[in-house]
Amino acid sequence: MILFRNALMAGVVAASLATPALALDRRVTIVNNTGFTMTNFYGSNKGTNSWEEDILGQDVLPSGSQVTINFHDGSGYCKFDFKAVFEDGDVLVRENVNVCEIGTFTYN
């Protein structure tokens, strides 16, 4: 009985420690203040080796605009790499962005 109770308590403690990580807000507002329209945006967690799909899809993000993106992908990762492509051909990559700690990411 004591072993069962200790195992049960260990499970409760582990579950309570895991819950905050799952509940972290991974929404980030991407702000484009570059003077150029953002045509593509990619955000891939550090556990993947590809850029995945263009988050903007058929949309663009004009300069002076913003979009809020939920990076919660079920992986549990907080660190993401961002890749923004602009109408003038510039590509800006930022690695290791902690989406659990920031609320806004601005391109200037």
3-state SS class at 2: helix
Q: So where are the chain's domains?
A: 25-107
Q: How far apart are CA 31 and CA 8, in angstroms?
A: 46
Is residue 19 predicted with pLDDT exceeding 90? no
Q: How far apart are CA 30 and CA 41, in angstroms?
A: 10
To which CATH superfamily is domain 25-107 assigned? Domain of unknown function DUF5300 (2.60.40.2890)
Q: How far apart are CA 55 and CA 53, in angstroms?
A: 6
Is the pTM above the cut of 0.85? no
96: pLDDT confidence band, cut at 50, 70 and 90?
A: very high
Judge contact between 70 and 57, C-beta under 8 A: no
Tens digits of residue pLDDT in 2-12: 544 444 444 44
